[in-house]
Amino acid sequence: MSAITDLSLAAMAAGLKARQFSAVEVAQAHIDAIARARHLNAFILETPEKALAMAAASDARLARGEGGALEGVPLGIKDLFCTEGVQTTAGSKILEGFVPPYESTVTANLWRAGAVMLGKLNMDEFAMGSANITSAYGNVENPWRRRGDNRPLVPGGSSGGSAAAVAARIVAGATGTDTGGSIRQPASLTGIVGIKPTYGRCSRWGIVAFASSLDQAGPMGRTVEDAAILLRAMAGHDPKDSTSVDLPVPDYAAALTGEVRGLKIGIPKEYRLDGMAPEIEALWRQGIDWLKAAGAEIRDISLPHTRHSLPTYYIIAPAEASSNLARYDGVRYGLRVAGDSLDALYEATRAAGFGAEVKRRVLIGTYVLSAGYYDAYYLKAQKIRSLILKDFTDAFREVDAILAPTAPSAAFAIGEKMDDPVTMYLNDVFTVPANLAGLPGISVPAGLTGDGLPLGLQVIGRPFDEATLFRAAHVIERAAGSFKPC
């Protein structure tokens, strides 16, 4: 038998249910794998004792013939999710040592389904970044390397620890969050599957807030089926999040029929960027051919305001962040740096506690919301956001889903693409529109670059139609095969 850690989450859950191995064995195999992969720096905090205790409880339930859909399955949790009694930092120094007295709804749902926690995964500070190089707890390394080049590469971000851990097979699956691409872009750069569900599908309660109108939690897994199983367990209505939607959660794995005949897939011409990498263009064409061969109808569509998405996002997200991050004041939790007055305490604490990218975004957000600029920036961005949503609404009258690349490039080395902040922001050019429109988007591995790095394709769908996304992604996955770092 191959190593337990190589199994898909679905196979692991089935093996546990059939008692082929115990939850404690599965947890221990992963704890050992994590210890061997510390160079990736995927974890901010490992919780092996907790994992073994939770696994023992799972074994007891399994022995009684009980247990949930994820009974005994070991997961990594992005360090943006509050976990009761376990340090939660959001990748920031300002939250070092913060131990939440409550559990986020999404993680509570996962534990209720029987999942086991391996620890808290590294991420860009407050989820602000696309390369996992802004964490106060160090950079995360991608388990993939370019062929013939030993330089470490970034895993993408902000859910970089989650992506690296899933790809390196040191967790069976992981949680991520996606405000502008933070699940899908790292999934693409590490050769795994990640879905940002519809805004409102998963509760945001207990997740450290970045931009509340855009943030959404979602799963990251090695297969489409794994992501489907995880999302079913994570999602659902929560009265504690007034934007969480009271709709039934379907059995997403049951949607994986391999059947897309008659499904209308839109190809947005505005996503064909000038100077697009030929490999990305070829991959997109390949995806179109796979779906066509499986019986889908391909239609050209137009999303004319899509090209305004990134600058719109970089007004709205920092504006909301500047408001959300006002709570880090050195008084109620987290870091405190002394000052002569209360204002001096605030200013010193926030200067020492926030990293450069977070400060930049809080300052931009404060500026665009300040008197005299609010209408010109924030209100303007909210209007363009309406236009971006309208483009999608119009398109979904003609098509059932949209196919596009996930990211404009494969994984890059630290130092590349880092000339200025805007160059880094361009990583999210294909992912941000779905956040602004609140739509679900999935990234599925679809091929390798010439130098052997994974690339993903993205399927965007109608609100709450994640099932169609999984179905289409599953067809791409079956055609493309799976990808594993050496």
Partner 1 sequence: MSIDHATVARVAQLARIRVAPEQREGLAAELSGILAWIEQLQAVDTDGVEPMASVVDRLLPERADVVSDGGIPEKVLANAPEAAHGYFVVPKVVE
What is the C-alpha separation between 367 and 355, in angstroms, rounded? 18
Stretch that binds partner 1, among 35-43, 99-107, 202-210, 217-225 (CB under 8 A): 99-107
Task: Please tell me whether residue 274 binds partner 1 under the rule CB under 8 A.
Answer: no
State how far the Cα of 385 lies from the Cα of 47, in Å rounded to an integer.
41
Give the residue, chosen from 138, 258, 295, 421, that forms a contact with partner 1 under the rule CB under 8 A: 421
* Residue 437 is a binding residue for partner 1 (CB under 8 A): yes
Asked if 397 is part of the footprint of partner 1 (rule: CB under 8 A), the reply reads no
Three-state SS string over the chain comes to CCCHHHCCHHHHHHHHHCCCCCHHHHHHHHHHHHHHCHHHCCEEEECHHHHHHHHHHHHHHHHCCCCCCCCCCEEEEECCECECCECCCCCCHHHCCCCCCCCCHHHHHHHHCCCEEEEEECCCHHHCCCCCCCCCCCCCCCCCCCCCCCCCECCCCCCHHHHHHHHCCCCCEEEEECCCCCCHHHHHHHCCEEEECCCCCCCCCCECCCCCCCCCEEEEECCHHHHHHHHHHHCCCCCCCCCCCCCCCCCHHHHCCCCCCCCEEEEEHHHCCCCCCHHHHHHHHHHHHHHHHCCCEEEEECCHHHHHHHHHHHHHHHHHHHHHHHHCCCCCCCCCCCCCCHHHHHHHHHHHHCCHHHHHHHHHHHHHHCCCCCHHHHHHHHHHHHHHHHHHHHHCCCCCEEEEECCCCCCCEEEEECCCHHHHHHHHCCCHHHHHHCCCEEEEEEEECCCCCEEEEEEEECCCCHHHHHHHHHHHHHHHCCCCCC
315 binds partner 1 (CB under 8 A): yes
Counting contacts by CB under 8 A, is residue 385 touching partner 1?
yes
| Total of residues contacting partner 1 (CB under 8 A) | 69
213 has catalytic annotation: no
Closest distance of CB 140 from partner 1, Å: 24
> Which positions from 323 to 342 touch partner 1 by CB under 8 A, shown as an x/- string?
---x--xxxxxxxx-xxxxx
Minimum distance of partner 1 from residue 200's CB (angstroms): 5
User: Whose Cβ is closer to partner 1: residue 155's or residue 334's?
Assistant: 334
Q: Restricting to residues 180-199, name those near partner 1 by CB under 8 A.
A: 199
Q: Which stretch binds partner 1 (CB under 8 A): 2-10, 41-49, 270-278, 305-313?
A: 305-313
The answer to the question of residue 61 lying near partner 1 (CB under 8 A) is no
Distance in Å, CB of 274 to partner 1, minimum: 15
Binding segment toward partner 1, per CB under 8 A, in 52-60, 72-80, 266-274, 377-385: 377-385
Please report whether residue 430 would count as binding partner 1 according to CB under 8 A.
no
Annotation says 322 is catalytic: no
For residue 421, give the nearest of 122, 124, 89, 214 by alpha carbon.
124
Q: Would residue 182 show up in a list of annotated catalytic residues for this protein?
A: yes
Question: Contacts with partner 1 in 199-218 (CB under 8 A)?
Answer: 199-200, 213
Which of 22, 135, 159, 182 is labelled catalytic? 182
CB of 246 to partner 1, least distance (A): 8
362 touches partner 1 by CB under 8 A: yes
Site for partner 1 in 244-273 (CB under 8 A): 245-246
Q: How far is the CB of 177 from partner 1 (least distance, A)?
A: 16
Maximum alpha-carbon separation in the chain: 70
CB of 272 to partner 1, least distance (A): 19
Q: Quote the least distance from Cβ 484 to partner 1, whole Å.
A: 36
Single residue of 308, 417, 449, 452 touching partner 1 by CB under 8 A: 308
User: Which CB, 52 or 387, lies closer to partner 1?
Assistant: 387
The verdict on 90 binding partner 1 (CB under 8 A) reads: no
Under rule CB under 8 A, residue 345 binds partner 1: yes
Cβ neighbourhood burial of 135 (10 Å; 0-12, 13-18, 19+): buried
Cβ at position 81, least distance to partner 1 in Å:
16
The residue among 21 and 98 lying less far from partner 1, judged by its C-beta, is 98
**Contact between 394 and partner 1 (CB under 8 A)?**
no
CB of 206 to partner 1, least distance (A): 13
Which pair of tokens denotes residue 156? 């993408």
Q: Which residues of 177-206 are buried (b: 16+ CB within 10 A; e: fewer)?
A: bbbbbbbbbbbbbbbbbbbbbbbbbbbbbb
Q: Which of 367, 414, 416, 482 binds partner 1 (CB under 8 A)?
A: 367
How far apart are the C-alpha atoms of 23 and 111, rounded to whole Å?
Answer: 14
Query: How far is 463 from 91, CA to CA, in rounded Å?
Result: 30
Task: Considering the complex, state which of residue 45 and residue 298 has its C-beta at the smaller distance from partner 1.
Answer: 45
Report if residue 379 touches partner 1, rule: CB under 8 A: yes
* Residues found near partner 1 in the complex (CB under 8 A): 97-99, 101-102, 199-200, 213, 239, 242-243, 245-246, 305, 308, 311-312, 314-315, 322, 326, 329-336, 338-348, 350-351, 354, 359-360, 362-364, 366-367, 370, 376-377, 379-387, 389, 420-422, 436-438
Residues known to be catalytic: 78, 158, 182
